[in-house]
Amino acid sequence: MMEATAYGLDGKTAIVTGAGSGIGRGICVEMAKVGADVVAVDMNTTGAQETAVMVREVGRKALVIEADVTKADAADVILKSALGTFEGVDILVNNVGGLGPKPKRVRALELDLEGWEFLMRLNLTSQFLCCKAFIQYAVDNGRKGSIVNIASLAAMVPYETSVVYAAAKAGVVSITQTLAWEYGQNGIRVNAIAPGHVKTPIPMSLYKGKEDLLEAQNRIIPLRRWGDPDEIGRLAVFLASDASSYVTGQTVVASGGMTYFRTSVV
């Protein structure tokens, strides 16, 4: 029988990008609850500071770093800042992603190269850059580590107006597999989570005043509801902890059982 302590993160430090709200905040708080100190990274420092307060309320340390992880040198700056406060870094959660500050549905023939490159950099390139910096740090210092990348159900299930987002998230699944293969021998595990519908600020704002559409979405989910950020957080805890010590290169779908999208109700 596995000891309960295998699910803990005592003595660990986790960097979480996109920590200012939603899934990122849920991951920070759930990791703190089981012992991790947290580096909350976000361009929205107000949100990240709020997350840090929640981390401290459960008795753990928190550092807030303002950074745009789509920039080439951001990951190295984040690591340097984290190591200025904590002795080491053990966990990286790549949560930054989405459709940008002003999300809109765009079909493939309406998409220009600038829009394609922006969403690719936001959802895929940023994760690769952070993975690369973290792995380089771990290898150089002979440290083991765990990376949890946030993908999306869209990586496996196509839906209308998702050509860039879905392609980028499929790329996240792919780099997760490749990096796990390349650096498993160094004791570095790399896994991903593919959430379905989760109650985060941006998607919930799109349904404001459209409760009938939200209910229609609920009906296509076997559990009949959207997920909560803390539920994704607890899955991230599992993948970061020794409870999953023989798991790497995997993408775990957390969608309430939903295996397809129905965009006609959105």
Tokens representing 83 are 């190591």
Instruction: Spot the catalytic one: 7, 137, 165, 260.
Output: 165
| Helix pair 126-140, 74-85: axis angle to 10 deg | 50
Q: Where does 2-124 show beta strands of DSSP type E?
A: 13-17, 37-42, 62-66, 91-94
Measure the N-to-C terminal CA separation of the chain; round to a whole number of Å.
45
Question: 69: which DSSP letter?
Answer: T
Q: Report d(CA 26, CA 178) in Å as an integer.
A: 27
* Upper half-sphere CA count for residue 197 (Cβ side, 13 Å): 26
Is residue 165 flagged as an active site residue? yes
Distances (CA, A) of 98 to 12, 101, 126, 163, 260: 28, 9, 12, 13, 18
Distances (CA, A) of 193 to 18, 135, 161: 15, 19, 22
Angle at alpha carbon of residue 137, lines to 136 and 139, rounded to 5°? 65
Asked if 89 and 107 count as a contact pair (C-beta separation under 8 A), the reply is no
Q: Which residues are catalytic?
A: 165
